Amino acid sequence: MSAPTSAHEHPAARALAGRHRIRLWEIIPWLLAIAFYFAFPRYLGFGTELLVTILFAISLDLALGYAGIVTLGHAAFFGAGAYTAGMLAFHHIWSEPITGLIAAAVVAGAVGLGSGLVLLRTTGLTLLMLTLCTMALLEEAANLGGHYTGGFDGLPGIDIPPLFGMFEFNPLYPRVQYLYVLGVLFVCFVFVRTLVYSPFGQSLTGIRENTLRMHAVGAPVRVRLIVCYTISAAIAGVAGALWAQSNAYVNLSTLGLDRAATVLIILVLGGYGRLYGAFVGAVAYMALSHFLSKYFPTAWQLGLGLLLVVIALFARNGILGIFETLQRRIGIKRPSP
């Protein structure tokens, strides 16, 4: 009779032990981002916008995809970060880019914490509408605070000083902006990746799947949801600050429903609850938007709408879900961690 399998040899134990391990294919998106810098120097403005959108989508995925916090007002934190960095630079209070990012993360995280303490007492449709109301309140506050925020016109022509005192931001040739945003995205992604594979991140998945069971095992469900919501808001604030710094202006669009809906669509396209769903969804959405609006300027949104219908009907888990389904059907096994 064979000896019983030890705990560390159990498949589940091996999976948990190797959950932090980096797979070879995970390097591909970063290599493509670097290759884009050299291959398409005329499109670095588009690339910078794409990277900011990916970071914003990652922040939403942390709250929605992993913790199951349904929100339609995530642009509130994006706009809070954008206006924080923009106002500090515009009014010459604190204009260094890196410190502007830190300030934006702190302010957006504080907004997330304050709103989360109230909103996360609710669930479902009530939570959805309250997050939307929070975003609308911040948008109206930015509109009314014209002396500081520029009101409806926003803050144009923000003077962003050189990065580290050496690298100047050039709006016509945004090479510095692209590399700057790529570096910040990488740091934030490593942080989120570490977080979601940690025991805290695994508990968020448990809360998303079965809240009652997590209550039953004694997990502090509400506290962990608030912490997750705050971290997600801070990362969204960083994305907003990057948008303001790379574009050198801020306006009310950073707090608009269009931006909140767009990032939600991106997660639906790519697949939420997956680390790289934000990458795939952002590339698919922005590339299609760019080319469809170029060749069909009056009907480009129809093409996006049809794609969303197809994804909703045949790929509930987004584009990444299609590849996972194909893997199962052709019998490809994932390598053991």
Place of tokens 């574009």: 247
Whether pLDDT at 333 is above 80: no
Share above pLDDT 90 across residues of the chain, in percent, rounded to a whole number:
55
Q: Where are the domains of the chain?
A: 39-276
For residues 304 and 77, the model is more confident at 77
pLDDT digit string, tens, across residues 4-36: 444 445 554 455 555 667 778 889 999 999 999
CA atoms lying within 13 Å on the CB side of residue 178:
21
What is the spatial distance between Cα 332 and Cα 145, in angstroms, rounded to a whole number? 57
pLDDT digit string, tens, across residues 276-329: 899 999 999 998 888 888 888 887 888 888 888 888 777 777 888 777 777 777
CA distances from 334 to 13, 18, 337 (A): 16, 13, 9
Task: Return the pLDDT at 3.
Answer: 47
CA distances from 267 to 114, 235, 262 (A): 25, 16, 9
pLDDT digit string, tens, across residues 237-272: 999 999 999 998 899 999 999 999 999 999 989 888
| Secondary structure class of 163 (helix, strand, coil) | strand
Task: Return the pLDDT at 264.
Answer: 92
What is the spatial distance between Cα 44 and Cα 47, in angstroms, rounded to a whole number? 5
Task: Return the pLDDT at 9.
Answer: 55
Whether pLDDT at 136 is above 70: yes
What is the spatial distance between Cα 200 and Cα 188, in angstroms, rounded to a whole number? 17
The average confidence (pLDDT) of the chain is: 87
Structural contact between residues 190 and 262, judged by C-beta atoms closer than 8 angstroms: no
For residues 90 and 241, the model is more confident at 241
Write a three-state SS string for 277-288.
HHHHHHHHHHHH
Structural contact between residues 267 and 281, judged by C-beta atoms closer than 8 angstroms: yes
Q: Is 128 exposed, middle or buried (0-12, 13-18, 19+ CB in 10 A)?
A: middle
The token pair at 289 is 């938007």
